[in-house]
């Protein structure tokens, strides 16, 4: 089964979203994922806690993204929740404790097998560092286009 088949779901793609703070994003994310049966009750507190300890903001050569995730025991079914923001949201840069990054895309990962997490992170980071590919991503205008884009590109 491909990564796209296992992790991508149209119901987990948000387009042109705005959040005043990370907590608002994580709260809505938890609500969406809980309602659809993707996460345990422990998910919200654990993803916030992990983000505070291990920030996930990432500056690439093309766009700034965040890839929040938590441990597999808080996940019921695998997913990538994709959110395109219509105004940047501040995260702390990966590997830092205080360097702020304004992100425009958030890829929240849910893995049930920890071995998949590193591979999925690497694929997303590689994808987001390819200028031509990201120019295409930035031009997409609806959920169906975003779904098709990731279905074609995430397994490369």
pLDDT tens-digit series, residues 60-74: 878 899 999 999 999
Q: Is the pLDDT of residue 24 over 70?
A: yes
List the domains of the chain with CATH numbers.
Answer: 3-153 (3.40.930.10)
Q: What is the pLDDT of residue 147?
A: 93
Contact 29, 108 (CB under 8 A): yes
| Of 122 and 147, the one with more pLDDT | 147
First to last CA, the chain: 14
Q: Where are the alpha helices (DSSP H) in 2-113?
A: 3-7, 22-35, 43-53
Q: Per-residue pLDDT for 156 more than 60?
A: no
Helices (DSSP H) in 8-142: which residue ranges? Answer: 22-35, 43-53, 114-127, 131-139
CA distances from residue 105 to 35, 87, 124 in whole angstroms, order as listed:
22, 10, 11
Task: Please give the pLDDT value at position 30.
Answer: 98
């Amino acid at each position: 089964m491909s990564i796209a088949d296992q992790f991508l779901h149209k119901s987990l793609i948000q387009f042109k979203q705005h959040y005043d703070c990370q907590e608002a994003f994580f709260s809505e994310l938890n609500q969406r994922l809980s309602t659809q049966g993707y996460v345990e009750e422990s998910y919200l507190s654990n993803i916030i806690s992990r983000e505070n300890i291990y920030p996930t903001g990432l500056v690439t050569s093309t766009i700034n993204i965040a890839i929040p995730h938590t441990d597999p025991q808080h996940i019921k079914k695998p997913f990538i929740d994709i959110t395109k923001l219509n105004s940047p949201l501040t995260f702390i840069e990966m590997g830092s404790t205080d360097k702020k990054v304004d992100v425009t895309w958030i890829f929240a990962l849910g893995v049930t097998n920890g071995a998949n997490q590193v591979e999925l992170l690497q694929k997303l980071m590689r994808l987001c560092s390819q200028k031509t590919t990201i120019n295409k991503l930035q031009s997409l205008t609806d959920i169906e286009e975003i779904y098709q884009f990731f279905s074609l590109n995430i397994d490369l």
